[in-house]
Chains A and B, each alone.
Chain A
């Protein structure tokens, strides 16, 4: 028994009758929530990194116009030497800086699309299964289990090699192996909320099923889903890099993974064609995970009262 956490029951009593005083210290959570969130150092750092990443993905082509796969100079120029190629060039003489900029596009596009598709599909299927129960739930749960028993990355590799490799294929493939986790989580959360009194109260006032599910329950489980989404973005970026590294990504687009793949053979003598895009992957995925953690702390405080 260590005195660590304040009991949420004691915490919420500060405005009960015996307390006498309305303590404004907690204030309104909603109005200044965003600012309070950014006051956490880790959250601010992660948000800044990701905002910077998204910004580069958008303005990148303006900054470095032209195809990043074009040969623009001498092969293997060291970084920070030639200002025409600030991050140097790879073994074929392709500019690493424009490669990284375009790679950010691919990574973020894949990551965000995968997260969006798996959220929509997973939430819809999981929510309906959890709310309906009975045989619908049974069928959906078995379906999710099938997806969970198949090794995701193997399925992805098979899909991408059978189909034409393009960004769309990669996104669809990744969504296919990510939605089941969302569906499972949503189903569990919906079942948990299904029997809470506020849901029963809505039911007794004659609110229809779909309205209860999407109007009452979903807003309450949204925090959990947002946190999951940030993790999905991170893992999708990693998986896309792995695919491109194996040469299974879109051959016509520069991506962080494919850059590492093509720089791999010279890594003993020339570190930078591998390390630079690698560092971008590490920083982005790290920022996403930190953001997920920070969101989790912020959106799911121990007290749900």
Chain B
């Protein structure tokens, strides 16, 4: 076996910061061979990003690093700042999650790449420009002569990420650290970026350390995977074995919670595995895998066609741009309609128009045959009670200044429920429904984790006892294991309370699991609908989406 390029042994990192204190990485060890592609997999907070940043020594000052990070025989944990400056970029390149913030918006992208070359190689501006053009060709950007003089905002997200990659590989580093490089990008572009990184790895004989939370992605694009939880290694295994031979309970739990497009599981018959982690009194962790079953109550029977939520020829315009352009669909009671589409496809605007957050230009939304778009004020409010909404980001959708009690109570007060006892009872039962303890009521949102916050948001949506719930990307800000819990919860609630959902997501596998019917949207229009798209998509676009997600 060849000498490893990077050996991390017994790495311990703890933060001593106003924003975060405590151990982030707790005795992590792994190594990467030259040209190898290794993934650090785990959920938020497991320390994978902290590890990546520690390799480049980009952590804040009040951080303690113990253990060793040997890169070509040099210990980066103790290297001086001037040594690190030489290593960053020259020997180790980094690609961050968000290309928008990595690039400086006031400089042309060509200048930014050229700057890296000029600073490290001391070459002339002309030579730097030549090299930059070559780099842009290497990362397969079209029309490089134009792009080299473009500003970051003139490029698409995928193009920007290619620019960032070009910057990272400009000096032909031996190791590329990619921290969630595709998470901020659309599904169809993700695959291209990962293909690019993989091609560069082979062509430049560069090792890649990929940080990701996405197990299907890791199993496809890397050689080996290190599964991390609370800063410790759970499993180290060949990536292709990830879905077959996971040894640790936690890894098995993550696998069971992950959805893949070809799973063919439906929330009407299946529930996702839930992994629960509890801390023992001696400080060690206990991992428990639960495979819940759907409740025994029978599935609600879809009522005749005229009942339910109907959207007819909906058109929404923002200023001059048409966001939704003639969309029609119908959700019978007790069914779930999924809308998939990439960012900017108008899928969120549809939900916002239904609930009245944006005013449609034309078209109709009707509930059980009664037109909602004609109402205003109190009349609309009394009907609106029957439709509620769950938002994407549980960190943004709860008022940080109010307690949970006040958040839930405010909704009831606003809807004219004046009896205090009844309000108390409803708050208690909605907390019950979403599986939160009654003590949660007295606390503020910041005291909860993301998954618990999303439960609070669901409780808020359910407290008025709606019939239709619009879910706008309700799990895309959440981790896999939490996503599984929330999806299971939504599926249970649908069955118990006879709810109907409009489920909007960019994640096809999630939609396939949760939805009965599906619509594919692009540029404000419906491209394709019906569940046949999973097996035999009839349009080019749907085929491309499926291929990218598979």
What is A's interface to B at a CB cutoff of 8 Å? Answer: 1, 3-6, 8, 10-21, 23, 25-26, 28-30, 196-198, 200-208, 211, 215-216, 219-220, 301-305
Contacts and interface: CB of A to CB of B under 8 A. Distances in A.
B359 interface: no
B1 to A, nearest CB: 30
Given A16-B450, A17-B43, A17-B479, 17 more contacts: A1-B58, A3-B61, A6-B15, A6-B19, A6-B60, A8-B19, A16-B43, A18-B44, A18-B47, A18-B48, A21-B230, A25-B20, A25-B22, A26-B21, A206-B381, A206-B411, A206-B414
Contacts of A28: 447
A207 B357 CA distance: 12
B346 to A, nearest CB: 17
B397 interface: yes
B522 interface: no
A3 B388 contact: no
A28 B450 CA distance: 17
A200 B357 contact: yes
Nearest to A4: B60
B21 A18 contact: no
Given A198-B399, A206-B384, A20 B60 contact: no
Contacts of A26: 19-21
A201 B390 CA distance: 8
Contacts of A198: 396-400
Interface in B395-418: 395-402, 410-411, 414-415
Contacts of B47: 18-19
Given A6-B20, A8-B19, A216 B357 contact: no
Given A205-B464, A207-B411, A303-B19, A18 B384 contact: no
Contacts of B59: 3, 6
B228 to A, nearest CB: 7
A24 B512 CA distance: 39
Contacts of B57: 3
Interface in B345-393: 352, 355-357, 381, 384-385, 388-389, 391-393
B19 A15 contact: no
A238 to B, nearest CB: 33
B396 to A, nearest CB: 4
B481 interface: yes
Contact of B396 (A3, A23, A196, A207): A196
Nearest to B48: A18
B399 to A, nearest CB: 5
A207 B17 contact: no
A18 B411 CA distance: 33
Nearest to B463: A205
A216 B230 contact: no
Nearest to B382: A206
B45 interface: yes
Given A4-B61, A305-B446, A17 B399 contact: no
B494 interface: no
Interface-central residue, A6, A211, A301, by most chain B CB under 10 Å: A6
Nearest to A25: B21
B392 A17 contact: no
Interface string B207-246: 0000000000000000000001111000000000000000
Contacts of A4: 60-61
Contacts of A23: 20-22
Given A8-B19, A17-B481, A197-B391, A204 B45 contact: no
B18 A16 contact: no
Nearest to B102: A1
B285 interface: yes
A10 B410 contact: no
Contacts of B410: 202, 205, 207, 211, 215
Contacts of B18: 301
Contacts of A30: 444
A6 B389 CA distance: 33
Given A4-B61, A21-B279, A202 B19 contact: no
B509 interface: no
Contacts of A6: 15, 17, 19-20, 59-60, 63
A214 B446 CA distance: 21
Contacts of B19: 6, 8, 11-12, 26, 301-303
Contacts of B99: none
Interface string B452-487: 000001001000100000000000000101100000
A159 B156 CA distance: 56
B173 interface: no
A20 B45 CA distance: 8
B446 A17 contact: no
Contact of B17 (A11, A13, A16): A11
A57 B402 CA distance: 37
Nearest to A1: B58
Contact of B230 (A12, A20, A302): A20
B50 to A, nearest CB: 7
A214 to B, nearest CB: 12
B449 interface: yes
A304 B414 CA distance: 27
B22 A21 contact: yes
B42 interface: yes
B414 A205 contact: yes
A290 B48 CA distance: 40
B230 A197 contact: no
Contacts of A18: 42-48, 228-230, 479
A276 B457 CA distance: 59
20 contacts: A3-B59, A3-B60, A8-B19, A11-B19, A11-B20, A18-B44, A19-B230, A20-B45, A20-B46, A21-B279, A23-B20, A25-B20, A196-B396, A197-B392, A204-B384, A204-B389, A206-B384, A207-B411, A211-B410, A305-B446
